[in-house]
Amino acid sequence: MCGAALCNVWITENGRETMATKSKKVAAKKNDGVVKVALLGFGTVGSSVAKVLAQSKFAGIELTHVYNRSVARKKESAAAKFVPATAKWTENIDDVLKSNVDVVIELMGGLNPTEGWLKKAITSGKHVVTANKQLIAYKGVSLQRLAAQNNVQLVYNAAVAGGVPVIPGMKQGLGGDRMQRISGIVNGTCNYILSRMETGADYATVLKDAQQLGYAEANPSADVDGFDARAKLCILSRIALHADLNPDEVATQTISSVEAVDFMYAKELNCTIRQISRAQLEGTVVHARVAPMLVPMDSPLAWSHGTQNMVVTSGLYGGDVVFSGHGAGGEPTAVAVVSDLLAVAQGAKSVELPVRKRQVTGEFMAPHYLRFVVDDKPGIVSSIAGALAKVGANIDSLLQKPGYPKHKLPFVVTTEPCLTSTIEKAMHAIGKLDCMLEKPMTLQMLVADDTAE
């Protein structure tokens, strides 16, 4: 919001108000008040950014460069019409890095060569807006330091949860709280798969659908095995818990071993299953994990369907805050990118929160859901119960739905809260029993008030 004295508001041809960027606060000084912008990457998000900029006509912002491989092909795409005729299309990154653009928007992803290019952009005085979660997860702290040294901004609100403003919301609005933990659904692909499976579909079918819809890659590992979510969890932890984590050290568990039967048993327990990314600070250690987990049906996390994202932050003073919306897709992510661009163009500065290196462990004290598929014989329950008793884990319930053949019988045990490592030890022993037809499945059960070790 601003009054007349704060910024000029003027009307474009279509009668819409435009963002004021010609005020004295504007970041761009080298281009007569016009903020020149280069787009690295003209894929789904990049072309949506071009579309939003073209349709919204923010005064004082000009897209001047588009870098991509195979420019000839990109220029033929339908979205190319959103790129101004005056903009330079290039396959040579030096055309951008050696130009006088004010802001580089990076939407290529990956660590290499992106990191080197963005360092060059920063050291040559260019602001950087990026949606690159892997780069920010692994290199965000050092890049931020480099940006500060060069007196430019590095902004990455699009790197987590796309169009859901959880990063700016936490930075500007929750910095005064003492954040204790954060849980979220930050991978739309996994959420699409699991919320479809909730209604009875099986994993392979849904994955295929997701691939056809463009929600999942041909090789879906980054999504389903949790590596995408892990990067986002590290970024969220840095802001919420002021903790700099090594993404490689964050425990992950694939969703690909979740089966239709697990949803049936979850329902019996008044739960569903979601890929949850969670972290909490205990003393100087961060407990973090990305895994399919049982989520109570009355938790906000259970309400998230399809490709929706949701993040729940839990603060000592403010309690739980929920952010949710479209976490992926070209236009929602473009909203985050363009919002960052407008902030940079205005010279707006976000709150800086402290951050320090923290150790990370996958250990949680939580109830667990254990699913076995056995060739049913007398003594199996006794063996399982014995293995659990040996590590001190108490059984809370035993569920066995009728209608399955004795020789391939799925059944479920839930435990009272116990440590992840404790349950893993028992499951290792149980997995060796002769009657086990499949590797037993262990899922953490999320409860509102559980604690880390």
Active site residues: 232
Sole window of 95-103, 217-225, 234-242, 416-424 interacting with a copy of itself (rule: CB under 8 A): 234-242
- Which residues ranging from 296 to 325 are in contact with a copy of itself (CB under 8 A)? 300, 303, 315, 317-325
Q: Is residue 390 close enough to count as binding a copy of itself by CB under 8 A?
A: no
Residue 218 vs 316, nearer CB to a copy of itself: 316
Q: Is residue 288 close enough to count as binding a copy of itself by CB under 8 A?
A: no
Site string for a copy of itself, 420-439 (x = CB under 8 A): --------------------
Task: Give the one residue of 41, 46, 60, 165 binding a copy of itself; rule: CB under 8 A.
Answer: 165
Residue with tokens 């819409």: 16
Nearest CA among 252, 253, 260 for reference residue 203: 260
Task: Give the one residue of 259, 331, 376, 438 binding a copy of itself; rule: CB under 8 A.
Answer: 331
Task: Give the one residue of 41, 247, 332, 440 binding a copy of itself; rule: CB under 8 A.
Answer: 332
- The DSSP string of 24-47 is TT-S--TTTT-EEEEEE--SHHHH
- Which residues ranging from 239 to 278 are in contact with a copy of itself (CB under 8 A)? 239, 242
- Which residues ranging from 123 to 152 are in contact with a copy of itself (CB under 8 A)? 140-142, 144-145, 148-149
Quick one: which H or E segment has residue 66? strand 61-67
Nearest CA among 293, 287, 216 for reference residue 254: 293
Residue with tokens 């009355």: 298
In eight-state DSSP terms, residue 436 is: B
Please report how close the Cβ of residue 450 comes to a copy of itself at its closest, in angstroms: 20
Q: How many CB atoms lie within 10 A of CB 21?
A: 24
Q: How far is CA 354 from the centre of its chain?
A: 21
Nearest CA among 289, 439, 436 for reference residue 365: 289
Q: Is residue 352 close enough to count as binding a copy of itself by CB under 8 A?
A: yes
Residue 163 vs 362, nearer CB to a copy of itself: 163
Terminal-residue alpha carbon distance, the chain? 45
Pairing mode, strands 271-282 and 285-296: antiparallel
Q: Is residue 181 close enough to count as binding a copy of itself by CB under 8 A?
A: no
Q: Is residue 343 close enough to count as binding a copy of itself by CB under 8 A?
A: yes
Q: Is residue 163 close enough to count as binding a copy of itself by CB under 8 A?
A: yes
Q: Is residue 336 close enough to count as binding a copy of itself by CB under 8 A?
A: yes
CA distance 423 to 289: 15
Q: Are 366 and 417 in contact (CB under 8 A)?
A: yes
CA distance 307 to 319: 26
Q: Is residue 72 close enough to count as binding a copy of itself by CB under 8 A?
A: no
Q: Is residue 176 close enough to count as binding a copy of itself by CB under 8 A?
A: yes
Task: Give the one residue of 170, 231, 273, 413 binding a copy of itself; rule: CB under 8 A.
Answer: 170
